[in-house]
Structure 1
């Protein structure tokens, strides 16, 4: 079995507020690039970004991911996740293929039905509304199916022989990036959607919350989700091995700066929370904040971390590149080896 991978997951927040080192959207984008470069130098495996619309966060990921691809040589870059309700499937397929070609095949795209957004019916303002008999989730899955068809090289548009050199039939989008179709992840918020993702042949991306609750600790519920995904994948008979990621908030307290920012949260965020999200009873995973040895021991016992092959570390991006590079370095040095990770330039 390969070593586990670790990456960072940035929500890309920017705001002119006290304490923020990311006052503008330009700062957020440029610092995202710089943090990916720093992470690669540390041996971190991935740079992932959350996508939100009508918010002061990352909204159009492909320029950012392309810039990271051009500045790095090994690290994966991706999303966690793109809300497919908002997407033009074929334009996104062109953008994704171009970005993947720039990166020499390092793009890892997390997509999903999306989460609650600041705008009511935001996708409708982008021009996308469900068809008769659909809800917004159905529309997101329809957009995803066409996107995946396009990046797999299938024809999607009728050729005009006069302008297509005499070609007839259906034309595929261009460019094409071989292998990209196997690097699409579905952000699943429940066990049921994880099974659906496996049946469709998409990798599994599971976050720090699940929109269901059975009363068991979050890591156990998420581990059950992963187990059901693997069973469904095997039953479907796909011809490649899937990847599975989970996200965790991990803040080692190693100096006075860490303690200043996060010391008071160590106790408050040390337990799972249960609440209502988007109308569903949901379980939110705890944050891992404390001494490195303690966190290493806790994460080594985290059932979902053990079951996944990739762990995405959420970062407080508004604290700037230097702080987040230090945080990632401390996790890599003191904590991640305990749950199966080792730095490698050849993974």
Structure 2
């Protein structure tokens, strides 16, 4: 464990108690969350990306703004549904945001998760081609995006292009190193293996598309081992990175007790545990919530083999409570990181 960051769903709502009531609020507050995380000594500010819902959906302008207001922390996505993306336009936007941040982007991509529209990508102008699965479509777009950000030529030059004969035109701008900071949100063993073979980093969330009856951390650690072995077998240079997400609710003062106390009561009654359920026609394992004082949470995280195997822990945060509330919990997360790094 070397890095601890937050993962914000970026919701806004006018519901009672929400401090983030409009789209404008969530943009301003997400930037403040990034500043607060850096100030607290955390390592990353990551955002979810969903379309047709009241949450963050267009990441690159926001990532650039977060990059302009911070100087150290990683800025990431978890994850971008590639079926909505024009890979070359995304390559330009990603490189621009990465240059603004000084090379701190960590981009998580995937084929997407269940969503509100019947055919969101088709509505965006990217209908699924006949005979192609969503996974195949996403893989094709990811490959084109990765090629473009690597600096490879992608466009045939016209008569007035200033390039040597026989060369293709690359997208501009380019941000050196960005191609080495692409992650994939894998849900199962097969996708984890494929991520390692392709040389992307692995993201695993609070659920996995496998249900053996074992705890989430055990199932997830097996996926991590499969990923790392596939990376080694493929002969990729560098170090493969792994992030896992967890829902953590530290109770450290009256405000956190008010919000998280009911969840602690469920935990003490034995009602807070990993669950088996169905998501997108697949039986999956859903992770529990870690709640309580820091000593209790530390003990439980140490018993989570996936958390202790990963290099990055992403903590899902209640962003609708606002940056001021989350700033207090960020201090707790930084302290947890310090404890977990000790022998």
TM-score w.r.t. length of structure 1: 0.95
Q: What are the residue-to-residue correspondences of 1:235-246 with 2, within 5 Å?
A: 235-246=233-244
Partner of 1:300: 302
CA contact (8 A) 1:252 1:258 kept: yes
CA deviation vs aligned residue, 1:110-138 (integer Å, no higher than 9, x gap): 00011011111100001112223211111
**C-alpha deviation, 1:331, in angstroms:** 2.2
Q: What are the residue-to-residue correspondences of 1:207-286 with 2, within 5 Å?
A: 207-266=205-264, 267=266, 270-286=272-288
CA distance in 2, matches of 1:177, 1:304: 32
Give the counterpart of 1:321 among 316, 320, 323: 323
CA distance in 2, matches of 1:276, 1:21: 32
After superposition, the CA RMSD in angstroms is 1.4
Partner of 1:340: 341
Q: Say whether residues 1:189 and 2:187 are aligned partners.
A: yes
Partner of 1:206: 204
Give SS of 2:238's match: coil
Partner of 2:94: 96
Q: Say whether residues 1:288 and 2:290 are aligned partners.
A: yes
CA contact (8 A) 2:210 2:285 kept: yes
CA distance in 2, matches of 1:161, 1:199: 39
Could you list the runs of 5+ residues in structure 2 that have no partner in the other structure?
none
CA contact (8 A) 2:42 2:333 kept: no
Could you list the runs of 5+ residues in structure 1 that have no partner in the other structure?
343-347
Give SS of 1:250's match: strand
Q: What are the residue-to-residue correspondences of 1:126-205 with 2, within 5 Å?
A: 126-164=124-162, 168-205=166-203
**C-alpha deviation, 1:198, in angstroms:** 0.5
Partner of 2:103: 105
CA contact (8 A) 1:50 1:79 kept: yes
CA distance in 1, matches of 2:221, 2:339: 18
